[in-house]
Chain A
Amino acid sequence: MTMLRVRDMTVRFGGIVALDGISLDLNRGEILGLIGPNGAGKTTLFNCISGVIHPDRGSIFFEGHSLVYAPPHVRARFGIARTFQNLQLWGSMTVEENLVVPMDALGRRNTFSDALYLPFSAYAERASRERARAILHVLELDRYARTLAADLPAGIQRRVEIARALAMRPRLLLLDEPAAGLDAQETARLAELLHAVRQRFHVSMLLVDHDMSLVLRVCDYVYVLDFGKLLARGQPSAIRSDPKVIAAYLGEESNQSTGETTTVVAAPKQAAPLLEVKQLAAGYGGLEVIRDVSLQVRPGEVVACIGANGAGKTTTLRAISGMIHPRRGRVMFAGIEVTGRSAERISKLGLIHIPEGRGLFPRLTVEDTLRLVSNTAGHEVDITPAFQLFPKLRERRRQLVGTLSGGEQQMVAMGRAILSKPRLVMIDEMSQGLAPSVVQQLFEIIRVFRDEGIAVLLVEQFVESALDVADRAYVFEHGSIGLSGAAVDLRRDRKLVAGSYLGTAVETPAMAAANGNEHRVDPALMEIVSVRVPAKVKRALEQRAEAEGRPTGAVAIELLEKVDRQ
């Protein structure tokens, strides 16, 4: 039974096509996964389904109803609930209140009778709270019922978001990166939880996440997006070994060898590290993205950081360069302690960071941008070396940076880097959004950097090319370093690296009863949640239960058992 039917969904933001004619089917009772590299359009698709964005073209049918013009709250009434990547809890309310709001909203409570505390308002209020507590019980959140949502740690907040979505009695649950910020153990528990939720609450789910281990454990079927288009779809195990998918994540398997793999020798092994990071921890708001990252870069070295999205590579670079403040750990550059210093100061010390998205100024011309280096240096800097390195930029010197192609923008960023004569350049996702030929050119430039004696710390999605040019590499996993070693060694074992991205084959644990965890669930409470009875019957049960001073569920079970015996 097709519950959700998306056809030909297209969304354009300015010149960028976020979604390009996507079609998707979700069946009742299914857990559907949606994966793809960064910027593939997954969150955009979610936003279209939940009604936050209007697509340029396309249709959405939910259980036969067209959702085209429905505002978000109407879609909620149809039974579509969602969680958010960046946690949108109502911080000033308690967990219990967070759950009660969707129940009320869908129950159409009257504003004035609420304010005047009229009797039937109070009754409805009690019923809602009881149901809320039942749901919290299933998700092991009872002890947080009266805590303000803003005071909770991130992992708990995620569970509360799921609980809140479930409070809506949804038929479809959209989960937007529920594993963000969770470590391996927490992710495994999340997988168990989702299975339990499906069973107990009879909801279908659409799951977006970068964490392949979660997706493969939990999903029945997977769609893969890339550049807004559908790349592949199928069973999780098939997807994992699909060469197209692997290429999208890791880059093409390069057939040519790079010739001399021994240019590693640039810096003697005993040289003191230029950049030293010790047990770094950092994050955003309540989320701790990196927990314990330690790495080193020696002068003149090229070091690559690879690993799945969400593993913490970008956050690490940001914490080093001062864009965000580290919470724990130390960063030393050229022997100076730079932990927590401002980004301005750190860049003046010779540590340049080219962030994700290139960090350029759209309304400045190429020439202006390059001349900006003079501001940092404090004196006029000759910009011709940049044009020598990138002749293409010379023709475009008066063009606004915002109008350049991605590759040209990257050239501007790297041109600036070379002009500032840094000691270490950190480049984040250089190849993002660029065609492979351009990417190859840029990797050549990295070699030029190394020849000039500039060390490079490179965060890359295209593992192949990164390992080609790097001396050493670190593989990030769940907020810390998983593997590390010489690039040559890692290249040889492609399977190992692929495993870090796409997850190793895991036998899906037999997800039987909800009690896959040690938690003992009171059956009486459970029944209130998952049984649908006519309202009249329910009210009668509740009245009787109140008269007897017992939970409604217990009364119901008792009656059913009686009926069963007759």
Chain B
Amino acid sequence: MAALAAYTIIGLSLGGIFSLAALGIVLIYRTTGVLNFAHGAMGMFSTFVAWQVFYGWSHPFWPGWISTLLAVIAGLVFAALMGLFLEFAVFRWVRTRDPVVKAVITIGVLLALQSAASLIWKNNQYHLPIYLAPQAATFTIADVPIGANNIVVIVAALVLAFGLGAFLRYTSFGRAMRAVSDSPASASLWGVPVGRVGAVSWMLGSLVAAVAGILITPFINFDTTSLTLLIIDALAAALIGGLVSLPLTVLGGFLLGLLETYPTIWIQSIGFPRLVALLVILAVLVVRNPRGFAVAAK
């Protein structure tokens, strides 16, 4: 029983990260029509920037929490700039194109980012992740080590999700973003600046991906590929939300985290969780399928 509680906490912390990543994907998709396959890669790159600042430049010189803070800020600033860059250099020009074309462009972004990271940081496994909570504070529940980091992740994920929700709900720009995400064609008729909304979405999406990446470093193999590959889990969570509803996406993320963690009680396998994600995707798509003959009409 206690073991179950332990695994639940771990699952929720994993899920929190999925939620964050998925939020970014859904936000960008709803406001710009781009399904960003490179989302994981973007988060990965920002995380490495933060890591670089942490271990390369700040850690040796400043006391613990300041260096962490500097690193995180550096990562986030980079993420925001990267998001804006992508919107202005790339996606602004393809606004009216087919969604599949836009998605394939993100594959190009993925390949470029992945290789750039590999070039700079090589393909090493890094065992020095960024800890947002004192590393020593671990406790165990039924022989399962729980770090304070797990709790931090869950809290951070919830806080950010609610923060984003509040921003969208109560601010004037958030309202504009919701309008565009609901119906871009109508929004332009209302004089809503669709272009600006798109740029901010990319920025926010990139920021959230960076946060997700930074938070997950204590839990996984920290190298350039595994972070990029979290895209599939993020997509699964986004699909649970139907690529539409942000609250459902967050719930979906947490649910997926649990679904991926519970089996590890019995099955020790690195790749198995990915299978879970795939099965979830298939299940969701089958259940959600429009009734009747699902034929693509052009």
Contacts and interface: CB of A to CB of B under 8 A. Distances in A.
Q: A contacts B directly in the complex (CB < 8 Å)?
A: yes
Interface of A: 51-54, 71-72, 88, 321-323, 342-344, 347-348, 353, 355, 359-364, 368, 371-376, 416
Given A363-B182, A364-B182, A376-B190, A371 B293 contact: no
B229 interface: no
A355 B189 contact: yes
B60 interface: no
A371 B186 CA distance: 15
List of 10 A-B pairs having minimum Cβ-Cβ separation, nearest first? A376-B191, A361-B182, A359-B186, A347-B191, A343-B188, A54-B292, A53-B292, A375-B176, A344-B188, A361-B179
B194 interface: yes
Given A323-B189, A344-B192, A344-B194, A72 B293 contact: yes
24 contacts: A54-B292, A88-B297, A322-B188, A323-B185, A343-B188, A347-B189, A347-B191, A348-B191, A359-B183, A359-B185, A359-B186, A361-B179, A361-B183, A364-B175, A364-B179, A364-B182, A371-B175, A372-B179, A372-B192, A375-B176, A375-B191, A376-B191, A376-B192, A416-B190
B178 interface: yes
A355 B189 CA distance: 9
A344 B191 CA distance: 4
B243 to A, nearest CB: 13
Interface centre among A71, A323, A359, A361 (most CB of B within 10 A): A361
A193 B4 CA distance: 74
Contacts of A88: 297-298
Contact of B293 (A52, A359, A361, A372): A52
Contacts of B192: 344, 372, 375-376
Interface of B: 172-173, 175-176, 178-179, 182-183, 185-194, 291-293, 295, 297-298
Contacts of A359: 183, 185-186, 189-190
Given A52-B293, A359-B190, A364-B175, 6 more contacts: A53-B292, A72-B295, A344-B188, A359-B186, A361-B178, A375-B192
Nearest to B297: A88
Contacts of B188: 322, 342-344, 347
Contacts of A363: 178, 182
Nearest to A378: B191
Contacts of A72: 293, 295
A124 B111 CA distance: 47
A373 B193 CA distance: 12
A51 B293 contact: yes
Given A342-B188, A344-B191, A347-B189, A368 B298 contact: no
A416 B189 CA distance: 12
Nearest to B298: A88
Given A52-B293, A88-B297, A343 B175 contact: no
Contact of A372 (B175, B185, B295): B175
A71 B175 contact: no
A360 B182 CA distance: 9
Residue among B172, B188, B295 facing the most chain A CB atoms (10 A cut-off)? B188
A368 B293 contact: no
A361 B191 contact: no
B178 A343 contact: no
Contacts of A360: 183, 186
Contacts of A52: 292-293, 295
Contacts of B182: 361-364
Contacts of A348: 191
